[in-house]
Protein backbone atom coordinates (compact mmCIF):
# COMPACT_ATOMS: atom_id res chain seq x y z
CA UNK A 1 0.00 0.00 0.00
CA UNK A 2 1.03 3.55 -0.63
CA UNK A 3 1.56 6.19 2.08
CA UNK A 4 -1.81 7.60 3.15
CA UNK A 5 -3.73 4.70 1.59
CA UNK A 6 -6.19 2.99 3.93
CA UNK A 7 -8.29 -0.17 3.80
CA UNK A 8 -11.98 0.71 3.55
CA UNK A 9 -13.42 -2.81 3.20
CA UNK A 10 -12.14 -6.37 3.13
CA UNK A 11 -14.04 -9.52 2.23
CA UNK A 12 -12.63 -13.00 2.71
CA UNK A 13 -14.57 -15.56 0.72
CA UNK A 14 -14.19 -19.29 0.16
CA UNK A 15 -11.70 -18.85 -2.68
CA UNK A 16 -11.03 -15.12 -2.93
CA UNK A 17 -10.02 -12.13 -0.85
CA UNK A 18 -11.06 -8.68 -2.00
CA UNK A 19 -9.52 -5.70 -0.28
CA UNK A 20 -10.80 -2.26 -1.16
CA UNK A 21 -8.44 0.55 -0.28
CA UNK A 22 -8.86 4.27 -0.73
CA UNK A 23 -7.02 4.00 -4.11
CA UNK A 24 -7.56 0.53 -5.55
CA UNK A 25 -9.03 -2.95 -5.43
CA UNK A 26 -6.67 -5.75 -4.42
CA UNK A 27 -7.91 -9.16 -5.55
CA UNK A 28 -6.42 -12.44 -4.35
CA UNK A 29 -7.55 -15.87 -5.49
CA UNK A 30 -6.72 -19.25 -4.03
CA UNK A 31 -8.17 -22.66 -4.80
CA UNK A 32 -10.58 -21.25 -7.38
CA UNK A 33 -12.35 -24.13 -9.14
CA UNK A 34 -11.24 -24.69 -12.73
CA UNK A 35 -14.79 -24.41 -14.08
CA UNK A 36 -14.89 -20.87 -12.69
CA UNK A 37 -11.53 -20.00 -14.25
CA UNK A 38 -12.83 -21.22 -17.63
CA UNK A 39 -15.50 -18.50 -17.70
CA UNK A 40 -14.74 -15.61 -20.05
CA UNK A 41 -12.86 -12.67 -18.54
CA UNK A 42 -12.49 -14.19 -15.07
CA UNK A 43 -9.40 -12.86 -13.36
CA UNK A 44 -7.17 -15.94 -13.16
CA UNK A 45 -4.19 -14.23 -11.52
CA UNK A 46 -3.49 -15.10 -7.91
CA UNK A 47 -3.11 -11.41 -7.18
CA UNK A 48 -4.36 -8.44 -9.20
CA UNK A 49 -4.70 -4.70 -8.64
CA UNK A 50 -7.34 -2.40 -10.13
CA UNK A 51 -7.01 1.35 -9.69
CA UNK A 52 -10.34 3.13 -9.31
CA UNK A 53 -9.14 5.70 -11.85
CA UNK A 54 -8.89 2.93 -14.49
CA UNK A 55 -12.40 1.56 -13.91
CA UNK A 56 -15.13 2.77 -16.27
CA UNK A 57 -17.94 0.76 -14.64
CA UNK A 58 -18.53 -1.81 -11.93
CA UNK A 59 -21.66 -3.97 -11.91
CA UNK A 60 -23.05 -7.11 -10.30
CA UNK A 61 -23.20 -10.06 -12.71
CA UNK A 62 -25.27 -13.21 -12.74
CA UNK A 63 -23.79 -16.54 -13.82
CA UNK A 64 -26.30 -16.80 -16.70
CA UNK A 65 -24.96 -13.54 -18.15
CA UNK A 66 -21.42 -14.83 -18.58
CA UNK A 67 -21.72 -18.57 -19.18
CA UNK A 68 -24.62 -20.11 -21.02
CA UNK A 69 -26.02 -23.31 -19.53
CA UNK A 70 -24.05 -22.89 -16.31
CA UNK A 71 -26.45 -23.43 -13.44
CA UNK A 72 -29.38 -21.33 -12.26
CA UNK A 73 -29.51 -17.57 -12.00
CA UNK A 74 -27.01 -17.18 -9.15
CA UNK A 75 -24.98 -14.05 -8.59
CA UNK A 76 -21.46 -14.72 -9.86
CA UNK A 77 -19.69 -11.65 -8.60
CA UNK A 78 -18.67 -8.30 -10.00
CA UNK A 79 -17.65 -7.19 -13.45
CA UNK A 80 -15.18 -4.35 -13.87
CA UNK A 81 -15.03 -2.68 -17.26
CA UNK A 82 -11.80 -0.79 -17.56
CA UNK A 83 -11.26 2.48 -19.44
CA UNK A 84 -9.33 0.54 -22.12
CA UNK A 85 -12.40 -1.70 -22.66
CA UNK A 86 -11.01 -4.79 -20.92
CA UNK A 87 -13.53 -6.70 -18.79
CA UNK A 88 -12.49 -8.33 -15.51
CA UNK A 89 -15.02 -10.68 -13.90
CA UNK A 90 -14.33 -11.36 -10.24
CA UNK A 91 -16.11 -14.21 -8.45
CA UNK A 92 -17.35 -13.16 -5.02
CA UNK A 93 -20.38 -12.80 -2.82
CA UNK A 94 -21.20 -9.63 -0.84
CA UNK A 95 -21.56 -8.00 -4.25
CA UNK A 96 -23.90 -5.19 -3.13
CA UNK A 97 -21.50 -4.02 -0.44
CA UNK A 98 -18.44 -4.32 -2.68
CA UNK A 99 -20.06 -2.37 -5.55
CA UNK A 100 -21.24 0.35 -3.14
CA UNK A 101 -17.71 0.77 -1.79
CA UNK A 102 -16.20 0.84 -5.29
CA UNK A 103 -18.62 3.53 -6.44
CA UNK A 104 -17.99 5.58 -3.31
CA UNK A 105 -14.21 5.36 -3.72
CA UNK A 106 -14.44 6.27 -7.41
CA UNK A 107 -16.41 9.37 -6.46
CA UNK A 108 -13.89 10.24 -3.73
CA UNK A 109 -10.95 9.84 -6.15
CA UNK A 110 -12.27 12.26 -8.80
Question: What number is the average pLDDT over the span 45-56?
Answer: 95
Q: Does residue 66 carry a pLDDT above 90?
A: no
Q: For 11-41, what is each residue's pLDDT tens digit?
A: 998 889 999 999 999 999 988 877 777 788 9
Confidence of residue 73 (pLDDT cuts 50, 70, 90): confident
CATH number assigned to the domain covering 7-108: 2.30.29
Residue 108: per-residue pLDDT: 87
Q: Round to whole Å and give the CA distance between 63 and 69.
A: 9
Could you tell me if 108 and 22 are in contact, meaning their C-beta atoms sit under 8 angstroms apart? yes
Could you tell me if 105 and 58 are in contact, meaning their C-beta atoms sit under 8 angstroms apart? no
State whether residue 30 is helix, strand or coil.
Answer: coil
b/e code 35-50 from CB counts within 10 Å (16+ = b): ebeebeebbeeeeeeb
Q: Tell me the pTM.
A: 0.89
Amino acid sequence: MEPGEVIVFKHVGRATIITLTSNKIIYRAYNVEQEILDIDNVVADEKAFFLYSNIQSAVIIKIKDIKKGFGPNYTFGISLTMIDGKINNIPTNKTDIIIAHILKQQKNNR
